[in-house]
A and B are shown apart, each in its own frame.
Chain A
Amino acid sequence: MNNTPELETRRLKREVLVRIIKAFMSDNYAENVRLIPYDMRPKGSEVPFRCCVYKERAVLRSRTIAGLGFAMEDDDERTLLSDFAQQALTRQVPEPEPLTVLQNACKGCPSAQVFVTELCQNCVAKPCMKACNFGAISNNGKRSIIDQDKCKKCGMCMNACPYHAIVKTIVPCEEACPVGAIAKGEDGLAHIDKDKCISCGKCVSACPFGAPHAKSQVIDVLSKIKQGKEVIAMFAPALVGHLPCTPEQFIDAFKKIGFSDVYEVAQGADTTIQVEAHDLQERLEQGAPFMTTSCCAAYNELVKKHIPEIKPYVSDAHTPLYYTAEIVKKEHPNAETVFISPCFAKRKEALDNPNVNNVLNFEELGAIFIAYGIEVDTCEEKEYAFKSSKEARDFPLSGGVARSVQAAWKGNPEDLKPTIINGLTKATVRDLKVYAKTGKCQLGNLIEVMCCEGGCIAGNAGLNTVKMALKKVTDYSSKSYSLKEDK
């Protein structure tokens, strides 16, 4: 939910998902999927966003393909949606990359550039020319001009101009990506480099055309339920903030979809907390300068693909999802497990973990509730078999993981100095690289890293505002016992 440009693109994605699920529930699944673009933009309908109704339908067709879980990059543009719908039913393993770019939805934005606007007053001092270290700025007698071939887009001239007459245009997806994985190709359209992408989904939230898109696993999950398999939902603690009901109503709500049981991933977080506190204490005793947390899937991808040198400093504790899935598979060896996630990166983590079979994000779960006509706030309240701690339920908040380690800390309290990276950006990625390279972090010895600003409650597939989600999560966690009292 970072940088939410417009709700419109989110609404479109959600509407397509609901229609796919409704088609799946109908007697004529493939044909009804084929009709989605025509149902949404019938003959003679208004053209709300694009140049004509045909383009609208073409983009909706692409959204449907992604909603069925396929990569747009593989679309030959001649395969019928009904064929994609059938193929989705037979898919055994989800697509390896969580994100895809809908090329026909991509505007092909103008490249990022710095330029001098007409508001230039052609002043005497010309601080812009002095500020430029690359000799890119000249003056034509009427105003300053930037030579785009020489310009490095550093923005020094912008800051120097007393009139704010110099502006920088950006490409929203490129700007949002913390690792330079999405960029305009030679065709002018956005492409994701899968060797660089950490699946954080910041581009999905940033693009006002809704071009970057998640590949959904709704059909995979609903097919398993329809086949009568034992399917178990494991929900991220952030979900508490993203549905209009109490967490005690989740069990009944999930069972109405056909899940056979429901686990709080906060249950696994209680194990992560203990392992992580112990891990840190051991490392510090052995003279380690610092340790970073290990629960954020996008951060783990970042470590793998961009900062392998920080790996020795990353906690060996597994994620809350890892421990929860392990418990579930032990208690239900034949069950199919589905993680309910606020983000896209967890799909990557799930692919590497045989105990997690599928991942649905909050938007997809919401779409299922709409299609099934389930009113979550009328569901029955039920107790969870396992009672998680306050700290485990606060895991999805920025600072929550660091606080949990503090609560479980068995060493001298003064030895523990937490610091927080609240959101991965180009700048915080640079900081992490410096910590790894120098083996030093001045700010503390426990570095909590969360990719999304605000924590998982601000995940890119969320439904609620971060502020409201924060309130709901803390209201719920405050009813639990604290690990501090437990000591």
Chain B
Amino acid sequence: MEKIKVKICQGTTCFVMGGEVIKSIHDTLVEKYADKIEIVPVRCLEVCHDADSFSQAPYVYVNDEVVSAATVDKVISVIESKLKNE
């Protein structure tokens, strides 16, 4: 089974809008899904740069699905649905 790729944005906007959450998303995922996912810290992917989209930061990508205003629960539910579909 191919590992799910979780990209956590390390850009400035995501950090300012949710630096506190980014860390807990990272830690929770490592603990919960160690062997099923691969966590990749990425630089700003620039979705936050148009118009008002900054307000929906922090962004996390689960494979190619964008999770906006990411929280631990939101990211977990997307990962769970991907795991179920495999």
Chain A residue contacts of B49, Cβ below 8 A: 373
| Candidate in B15, B18, B49, B52 with the most chain A CB atoms within 10 angstroms | B15
Report the separation of the CA atoms of residues A464 and B17 in the bound assembly, to the nearest whole angstrom. 10
CB-based contact B19/A465 at 8 Å: yes
A377 touches B10 (CB 8 A): yes
The interface residues of chain A lying within 8 Å CB-to-CB of B54 are: 15, 18, 370
Q: Restricting to B1-49, which residues have a CB under 8 Å from any CB of A?
A: 10-13, 15-21, 23-24, 43-44, 48-49
Q: List 7 A-B contacts (CB under 8 A).
A: A11-B69, A14-B16, A18-B54, A244-B10, A244-B15, A369-B13, A370-B13
A367 within 8 A of B: yes
Given A7-B21, A468-B23, also A39-B15 (CB < 8 A): no
Contact of A4 with B20 in the complex, beta carbons under 8 Å? yes
Beta-carbon contact of A463 and B20 below 8 Å: yes
Closest to B11 in A: A375
> Are A465 and B23 in contact, CB atoms less than 8 angstroms apart?
yes
Chain A residues with CB under 8 Å of B48's CB are 370
**Interchain CB contact (< 8 A) of B19 among A18, A40, A369, A464:** A464
Top 3 A-B pairs, shortest CB-CB distance: A366-B16, A244-B15, A463-B19
Q: Quick one: given A18-B54, A39-B52, A370-B54, are A375 and B12 in contact (CB under 8 Å)?
A: yes
Minimum CB–CB distance for A326 against chain B, Å: 31
CA distance A464 to B15 in the complex (A): 8
Q: Mark A407-445, 1 if CB is under 8 A from B, else 0.
A: 000000000000000000000000000000000000000
Query: Which A-chain residue is minimally distant from B18 (CB atoms)?
Result: A7
Q: A374 at the A/B interface (Cβ < 8 Å)?
A: yes
A7 to B69, CA, bound (A): 11
Report B-chain residues with C-beta under 8 Å of the C-beta of A242: 19
A376 within 8 A of B: yes
Interface residue range, chain A = 20 to 34
* Chain B residues near A465 (CB-CB < 8 A): 19-20, 23-24
Q: How far is the CB of A337 from chain B (nearest CB, A)?
A: 23
Task: Report the nearest B residue to A468, measured CB to CB.
Answer: B23
8 Å CB contact of A366 from B12, B23, B52: B12
- Known contacts A15-B55, A369-B12, A370-B13; A377 and B43 CB within 8 A of each other: yes
Residues of B within 8 A of A464 (CB): 15, 19-20, 23
CB distance from B65 to the nearest CB of A (A): 21
CB contacts (< 8 Å) of A244 on chain B: these are 10-12, 15, 19
Q: Judging by beta carbons under 8 Å apart, are B15 and A243 in contact?
A: yes
- The dominant DSSP class at the B interface is helix
Residues of A within 8 A of B (CB): 1, 4, 7, 10-11, 14-15, 18, 39-40, 242-245, 363, 366-367, 369-370, 373-378, 463-465, 467-468
- Nearest Cβ distance between residue B40 and chain A, in whole angstroms? 15
CB neighbours of B13 from chain A (8 A): 369-370
Are B16 and A374 in contact (CB-based, < 8 A)? Answer: no
Q: Complex formed: what's the CA distance from A4 to B21 in Å?
A: 11
A7 engages B16 (CB within 8 Å): no
Known: A363-B16, A370-B16, A374-B12. 9 other contacts (CB 8 A): A11-B18, A18-B54, A40-B55, A366-B16, A370-B17, A375-B11, A376-B12, A377-B43, A463-B19
Q: Which residues of A contact B52 (CB under 8 A)?
A: 39
Of listed A18, A244, A369, residue having the most chain B CB within 10 A: A244
Q: How distant is the Cα of A366 from the Cα of B12 in the complex, in angstroms?
A: 8
Which chain B residue has the least Cβ–Cβ distance from A374?
Answer: B12
Which residues of B sit under 8 angstroms from A7, Cβ to Cβ? Answer: 18, 20-21, 71
Chain B positions within 8 Å of A15 at CB level: 17, 54-55
B46-86 interface mask toward A, CB cutoff 8 Å, 1 = contact, 0 = none?
Answer: 00110010110000000000000101000000000000000
In the complex, how many angstroms separate the beta carbon of A429 from the nearest chain B beta carbon? 27
Residues of chain B within 8 A (CB-CB) of A245 are: 12
| Chain B hits for A370, CB < 8 A | 12-13, 16-17, 48, 54
- A468 to B26 alpha-carbon distance, docked (Å): 12
Instruction: Give the most central of A4, A242, A370, A375: most B CB within 10 Å.
Output: A370
B15 contacts A366, C-beta separation under 8 Å: yes
Residues of A within 8 A of B23 (CB): 464-465, 467-468
Which of A14, A40, A377 has a CB less than 8 Å from the CB of B17?
A14
* Of the residues A373, A377, A463, A468, contact of B16 by C-beta under 8 Å: A463
A378 to B17, CA, bound (A): 18
Give the residues in chain A near B24, CB-CB below 8 Å: 465
B14 to chain A, nearest CB (A): 8
The CA of A340 and the CA of B39, in the complex, are separated in Å by: 33
When distances are taken between beta carbons in the complex, the residues of chain B under 8 Å from A14 are 16-17
A39 — which chain B residues lie within 8 A by C-beta?
Answer: 52
- Complex alpha-carbon distance, A4 and B18, angstroms: 12
* Residues of A with C-beta under 8 A to B15: 243-244, 366, 463-464
